[in-house]
Structures are given as C-alpha cells and as structure tokens.
Amino acid sequence: MKQWLGLAATALAAAGLFQASTVEAAEPIEVEKVEAQNTYEEEEPNDGREDATQVPLGSYISGEFSDEDVDYYRVEVNGDTTVRFTFHLFEYIEEKTDMKFQGRLLSEQGEVLSPYSMNGNEYGYIESHLLDPGVYYMKVWDEANLADGSTYYLGTGAELLDASAERIWGVDRYWTAANIARMGDADRHSSENVVLATGEDFPDALAGAPLAEHLDAPILLTREDKLPEITEQVMNTFDTEKVTILGGTGAVSADVETYLENDLGMEVDRISGKNRYETAAVIAERLPERDQAVVAYGRNFPDALSIAPIAAGKGMPILLTEQDELPEATEQSLKNYGESIAVGGTGVISSDVLAEMPEAERISGKNRYLTSLAVVEHFNVGGVKASFATGSHFADALAGSVNDVDQPLLLTPKDELNEEIKAYVKDQEMFRFNIFGGTAAVEESVEQELEALYE
C-alpha cells in the first residue's frame, strides 16, 4: 500500500495537467484547496543554494519571478529509506499559464540530479526522483521571463518506495501482441506502419525489433494462412496504411498478403530471404548505418529477444548465426560494421564464430535468464522500469520488444523470479514493471514477488 509522506496524489496531478504516464490525472483543484494545505511564501533573496528558501516536505510555497530571476528552495528528506520524491511548478488556475516553468533538482553539493520521470507543458512542470535521506535543492525559473508579478506555486511530496506490476496480456499470443501495441505505449493512438510476423514460429521475426523501432511501428502477429480478427482490428484502430511482413510465404502466406492489399487496402512490403539468416541480413539493410551489429543464435529465440529492446533503441541490427559456422549472409552483412556483439555463451556461439566477427565482444550468462540480465548490466540501462516475459516461448517477448526500447527486458521462469535477477532489480531500485503474457506464461506468483520487493 502506498504510504504518503507529504503531498496528496491529487495535488501531484496538478489539476490533471500532466500526461497519465507521468502522474495520474485528477479533477481541477481550486486555489482555495491550495490555501487549505500547508502553504508558505518565498523569502527573497533566494538566488543560490546558500540563501535558498526552506520548503517543508509535503507543502506548497508561492513565489514570483523578477527579471532573469532564478529561485532556489531547500528541502530535506528524513528517515532511513529511499523515497519517491516529486516537485511540480504551476500557476494553479484552471487556464494555461504563459510562464514556461523549468526546474532542476540538485544534491547538497550542487550536482544536478537526473529524474526518472519529467514533463512540462503549458500548464506547468513536474519531475520525480528516487532520493535517499538528505538535503536537496530545487532550482526553478521561467524561461519566458515574463516578470509580470504573476504568482507561481511550487509543491513537493514523497512516498515510500512501492513496487507495482502491470500485466499486458490476452486470450492468446495474437491478443497479447495486440494489447501490447494498444496499451503498452501510452502515447500510441495511431500507427501508419505495422510490422507483421508469424505467431507460430520465431526465426524470421527475431531480427524485427530494430526495424519496427525505425518505422515507429508496433509488432503484431498473424497465423500463417489467416489474419487474426484482433490483429485486423488493431490495424483499423491505428489507421494503418503500410504493413511490413517479416519472412517468406512459409511464415506468412500469400493469402494473408493478398487480404491485406485487396480487402484492407494496405500497402504491403515483404522482407524475406531463403532462410532466417538471409532474412535478418535483409532487415539489416533497411536500417540506418551503424558501426555496431548484434549477432545471436538463430536456432533459438531467448538471446536475440533479450537484447532486442536495446538493439532497437540504439538502431543496431540483429544478425543470426549457427553455433559453429557463420552463415554466408551474416558474414557478408558483418562487413558493413566495425564492431559486433555476440549474445550467448559458447554453447550457442562458438569461439571460432566469435573470432570471425569484427571487433567482437561476448555477452552471456549461465542460462537464458542470466544472459538477459547480463545484457542489461552490460549496457547499464538504468531507470526505474523493467519488463518481464517468459523465457519458454517467444511470442510475448517479441511483441514486447518494442514496447519500451532501451529498457530492460528480463526473461523469467514461469513460476518464480530468478534470484540473481530479483537481487539486481532491487539493488537498482526499480519499481515499475510490465509483465508480458497471461498467467499461463508468467504465473501470478512472479507478479506477487515483484510487488513485494520493498515490503
């Protein structure tokens, strides 16, 4: 249960002025409600840390910006545990403000701290941090520099660290992929492009995440011979105009392609090769130039999918290999890159193959779960959010791979978290989790473990 140390949730929402991905929206709050809270006034001069105005945690303070003014406020976080701290700036009326608020949180030594969430618009500015007990400073200003005597409000609040998990799933893999596309990206209400892969096998789809990110497209799944109704429904909802099919007619039939073109009126582009290795190489050709490529084992899916969100975020192609031999298509494609990363141990990519790769380094763990962790650690993808998918089946992780690019995608056993992954997540103070797939893929016990991390 959330335990508030200060500002109420409705106040954090700042009259519903910020996107739901940042804070929960609320009804507009009247000025009188501010006055009913603990409200203080700015004490000038407060133009630096040495003369910052003290702000009790969980209170409001009002102030004014003079010409080229920058105001500093001091706040102290007490206790003995990490908290989620938020401050927000607003004019606190129901109309938009002409001020363009900006703020930064500083350590006691004056170092600018990076928020895990921030948002600013014509109504105000808000940002959130994970903070240990100590003294901090808020530096705030008006980029518009109106200096017209308007009053602004600064609100602060904190809550104890509390993990939450959101499960994105459907009755089958096609529904799950559709729901990830619709619900996983809070900002996606339409998509001109869609990447379509078979939901029945993984080979042609393994390299698809970087392409989907490049096209700003979700990955949806289809049966070999018939487009599922839910997949068509999402395409219609998104006003999709172009579908990129991954794989040949053995993966997604000509009947599906014809249906997309003739019945749904969509432009269709099929990317395929004679085999999975050629398909991955052709996909790589569609991506912007990069110096580094990823190489993963082509006979199984876990390693390629573990690195897919990071590869997508960095625009790195995912090429495929046999264990003991670098396929011709992969070898030729690698000539376009100065560096490469092999994902997986020698059981899937031999030392001989590694030696043929340009400026190669290996990322691996003792099993598929720890390889997914090794990927996250290697790229040091910090933040407060991580996604989980079963390590036993490919479909949920594939669809989720473009849900949060450059974010950790960790594989999990069906019924419990890997202990090393659990320790890592807690050590990194992650607390927002997505679970891709229903309880048949990732049981409720895993969800419960995640939500109980900080109890």
CATH number of the domain at 129, please.
2.60.120.380
Q: Residue 7 has what pLDDT?
A: 38
C-alpha to C-alpha distance for 398 and 387, rounded to whole angstroms:
12
In a domain, 261, yes or no: yes
Residue 54 has pLDDT above 80, yes or no: yes
Q: Which of the listed residues 117, 141, 161 is the one where a domain comes to its end?
A: 161
Average confidence score pLDDT of the chain: 90
Model confidence at 187, pLDDT cuts 50, 70, 90, reads low
Among candidate residues 133, 161, 189, the one where a domain is terminated: 161
- C-alpha distances out from residue 125 to 18, 80, 103, 142, 320, Å: 8, 28, 8, 10, 45
Which residue in 65, 25, 26 sits closest to 46, CA to CA? Answer: 65
Query: Between 137 and 31, whose confidence is greater?
Result: 137
Q: What does the alpha-carbon distance between residue 121 and residue 129 come to, in Å, rounded to a whole number?
A: 19
Q: How confident is residue 300, by pLDDT bands cut at 50, 70 and 90?
A: very high
Distance of CA 404 to the CA centre of its chain: 3
Identify the domain containing residue 127 by its residue range: 9-161
146 and 210 in one domain?
no
pLDDT at 27 (0 to 100):
32
Put residue 79 in one of left, alpha, beta given phi > 0 → left and psi -120 to 50 → alpha: left
pLDDT at residue number 404 = 80
- pLDDT (average), residues 382-402: 94
Residue given tokens 């500093």 in the structure block: 72
Residue 219 pLDDT > 50: yes
| pLDDT recorded at residue 95 | 74
**2 in a structural domain:** no
Does 27 fall in a domain?
A: yes
CB 68 within 8 A of CB 144: no
Mean pLDDT of 347-351: 98
Beta carbons within 10 angstroms of residue 120's beta carbon: 18
Q: Which pLDDT belongs to residue 47? A: 97
At 305-315, the pLDDT tens digits run 999 999 999 99
The verdict on residue 1 lying in a domain is no
Q: Are residues 203 and 222 in the same domain?
A: yes
Considering the entire predicted model, what is its pTM?
0.82
**Residues 175 and 117 grouped into a single domain:** no
pLDDT at 184: 52
**Whole-number pLDDT of residue 10:** 35
Give residue 382's pLDDT. 78
Question: Does residue 234 surpass a pLDDT of 70?
Answer: yes
Q: What is the average per-residue pLDDT within 341-363?
A: 98
For residues 332 and 413, membership in a common domain is answered with yes
Q: Please state the domain count of the chain.
A: 2
Out of 100, 134, 161, pick the residue that ends a domain: 161
| DSSP per residue, 209-276 | HHHHHHTT--EEEE-SSS--HHHHHHHHHTT--EEEEES-TTTS-HHHHHIIIIIS--EEEEE--SSH
Share of the chain above pLDDT 70, in %: 90
Mark whether 92 and 198 lie in a shared domain.
no
pLDDT at 94: 64
What mean pLDDT is predicted for residues 353-374?
98
Above 60 in pLDDT, residue 137?
yes
pLDDT of residue 93: 61
Has residue 258 been placed in a domain?
yes
Q: 114 and 149 in one domain?
A: yes
Bridge partners for 140 per DSSP: 71, 103
Asked, for residue 441, whether it belongs to a domain, the answer is yes
pLDDT of 293 strictly over 70: yes
Same domain, residue pair 139 and 115:
yes
Q: Is residue 236 domain-resident? A: yes
Above 90 in pLDDT, residue 11? no
Mean pLDDT of the 207-217 span? 96
Give CB contacts under 8 A, 24+ apart, made by 31-37. 31/92, 31/93, 34/60, 34/92, 34/153, 37/11
34 and 149 inside one domain: yes
Same domain, 175 and 225: yes
Q: Is the domain of 266 the same as that of 228?
A: yes
- The confidence band for 32, taking pLDDT boundaries of 50, 70 and 90, is very low
pLDDT of residue 22 exceeding 50: no
Cα distance between the two ends of the chain: 9
Shared domain check, 416 and 282? yes
Residues 444 and 368 in one domain: yes
Q: What pLDDT is attached to residue 188? A: 60
On whether residue 3 sits in a domain, the answer given is: no
Q: Averaged over 267-271, what is the pLDDT?
A: 98
